[in-house]
């Protein structure tokens, strides 16, 4: 394993030396002997990395200081788009239940230290996973209505307190929400829109149209840039870069996938991984934009540390 990782580092360094984004460190956070983990994300301060199982059952986190893996729960659906409080002490997620023959879900808040649970929404139908967090305000939908809660206290907010702009997908369309109003967008016509998000400066939309590729538009849906084939795309914290994976499958299984970064104006592209023996998927940024975490198809969690060489390119977001 160590030899493989050393080769991985050397390959990534060789790829990036001629570029202004380089990988300076690679760390394998988990091994297959510890379990198969997927869909990782950083806590805001980077001290923890949260992840789940392949079926989104359960939540774990890696404690960077202790170099230990901690299990929070084994609840169904808990690993699908959980939201972590800014201080890293709370995590909010949806719990799915199929015991009555139909899917019902509850919204739950868990204390990371005590592991105690607080129910925010009782089991019901039409409940989304958490959609968006700004500071410690978390937004979700219930029966198509936008709701919000303060993640540290579980206190629900009035609709007039939901002032932040955010985007999500409903019935394969992009929904742009702000100040209690919603706008439905289909920038490229009818189709299956996925992975939509608003840029950090609230001026652009990032989205993927299945079968067509990934695009950046203005807030009215006018296309500004086409990134191309780029799955699971996410803005960098400063909005200057797009992180994504380029995967291939044989119709049944993934046969390859690597991690890329594109400038948000699509003028530059950088390949962060190029490893034939590992399928690298679902990357996410750290809050400072100096690290990237992702999982392999075999359930390993990998951490990359980046160096941005451009003189004026700082990825950190306050």
User: Residue 2: what pLDDT?
Assistant: 43
User: Residue 251: what pLDDT?
Assistant: 87
Mean pLDDT of the chain: 91
Region 9-35: what's the mean pLDDT? Answer: 72
- Determine what percent of the chain is predicted with pLDDT higher than 70: 91
pLDDT at residue 1 tops 80: no
Q: d(Cα 142, Cα 125) in Å, to the nearest integer?
A: 8
Here the tokens at position 8 are: 């991985």
User: Residue 67: what pLDDT?
Assistant: 95
Say if residues 120 and 156 touch (Cβ distance below 8 Å): yes
Region 191-216: what's the mean pLDDT? Answer: 97
State the pairing for strand pair 204-209/213-218. antiparallel
User: Residue 7: what pLDDT?
Assistant: 47
pLDDT at residue 317 tops 80: no
Q: Is 277 exposed, middle or buried (0-12, 13-18, 19+ CB in 10 A)?
A: exposed
Give the up-direction half-sphere exposure of residue 4: CA atoms within 13 A in the CB hemisphere. 8
pLDDT at residue 6 tops 70: no
Q: d(Cα 269, Cα 260) in Å, to the nearest integer?
A: 7
- Determine what percent of the chain is predicted with pLDDT higher than 90: 80
User: Residue 313: what pLDDT?
Assistant: 45
Per-residue model confidence as pLDDT tens digits over 53-86: 999 999 999 999 999 999 999 999 999 999 999 9
Region 139-145: what's the mean pLDDT? Answer: 92
Report which of 55, 41, 147 is spatially closest to residue 84, judged by C-alpha positions. 41
Which distant-in-sequence residues (6+ apart) come within 8 Å of 304 by Cβ?
A: 12, 23, 25, 26, 27, 259, 272, 273, 291, 292, 293, 294
Q: d(Cα 208, Cα 228) in Å, to the nearest integer?
A: 9
pTM: 0.90
**How far is C-alpha 13 from the chain's CA centre?**
25
Region 274-292: what's the mean pLDDT? Answer: 95
pLDDT at residue 298 tops 50: yes
User: Residue 9: what pLDDT?
Assistant: 47
Region 19-48: what's the mean pLDDT? Answer: 93
User: Residue 310: what pLDDT?
Assistant: 59
pLDDT at residue 3 tops 70: no
pLDDT at residue 19 tops 80: no
pLDDT band at 92 (very low <50, low <70, confident <90, very high): very high
Say if residues 223 and 229 touch (Cβ distance below 8 Å): no
Region 308-314: what's the mean pLDDT? Answer: 57
Q: Which residues pair with 147 in a beta bridge?
A: 140
Report which of 271, 206, 204, 211 is spatially closest to residue 232, judged by C-alpha positions. 206
Per-residue model confidence as pLDDT tens digits over 234-250: 999 999 999 999 999 99
Which distant-in-sequence residues (6+ apart) come within 8 Å of 260 by Cβ?
A: 230, 243, 244, 245, 246, 269, 270, 271, 272
């Amino acid at each position: 394993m160590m030899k493989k990782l050393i080769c991985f580092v050397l390959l990534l360094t060789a790829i990036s030396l001629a570029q202004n984004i380089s990988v300076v460190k690679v760390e394998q956070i988990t091994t297959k002997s510890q379990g198969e983990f997927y869909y990782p994300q950083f806590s805001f301060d980077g001290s923890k990395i949260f992840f789940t199982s392949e079926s989104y059952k359960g939540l774990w986190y890696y404690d960077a200081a202790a170099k230990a893996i901690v299990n929070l729960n084994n609840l169904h659906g808990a690993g699908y788009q959980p939201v972590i409080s800014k201080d890293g002490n709370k995590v909010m997620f949806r719990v799915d239940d199929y015991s009555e023959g139909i899917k019902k879900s509850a919204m739950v808040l868990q204390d990371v230290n005590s592991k105690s649970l607080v129910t925010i929404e009782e089991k019901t139908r039409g409940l989304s996973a958490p959609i968006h967090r700004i500071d410690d305000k978390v937004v979700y939908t219930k029966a198509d209505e936008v709701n919000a809660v303060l993640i540290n206290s579980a206190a629900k907010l009035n609709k007039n307190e939901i002032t932040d702009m955010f985007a999500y997908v409903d019935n394969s369309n992009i929904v742009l929400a702000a100040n209690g109003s919603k706008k439905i967008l289909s920038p490229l016509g009818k189709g299956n829109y996925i992975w939509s998000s608003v840029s950090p400066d609230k001026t652009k939309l990032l989205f993927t149209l299945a079968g067509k590729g990934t695009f950046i538009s203005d807030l009215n849906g006018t296309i500004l840039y086409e990134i191309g084939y780029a799955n699971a795309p996410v803005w960098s914290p400063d909005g200057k870069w797009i992180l994504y994976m380029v995967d291939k499958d044989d119709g049944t299984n993934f046969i390859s996938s690597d991690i890329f970064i594109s400038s948000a104006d699509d003028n530059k592209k950088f390949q962060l991984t190029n490893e034939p023996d590992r399928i690298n998927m679902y990357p996410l940024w750290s809050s400072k934009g100096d690290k990237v975490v992702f999982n392999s198809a075999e359930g390993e969690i990998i951490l990359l540390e980046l160096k941005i060489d451009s003189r004026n390119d700082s990825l950190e977001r306050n």
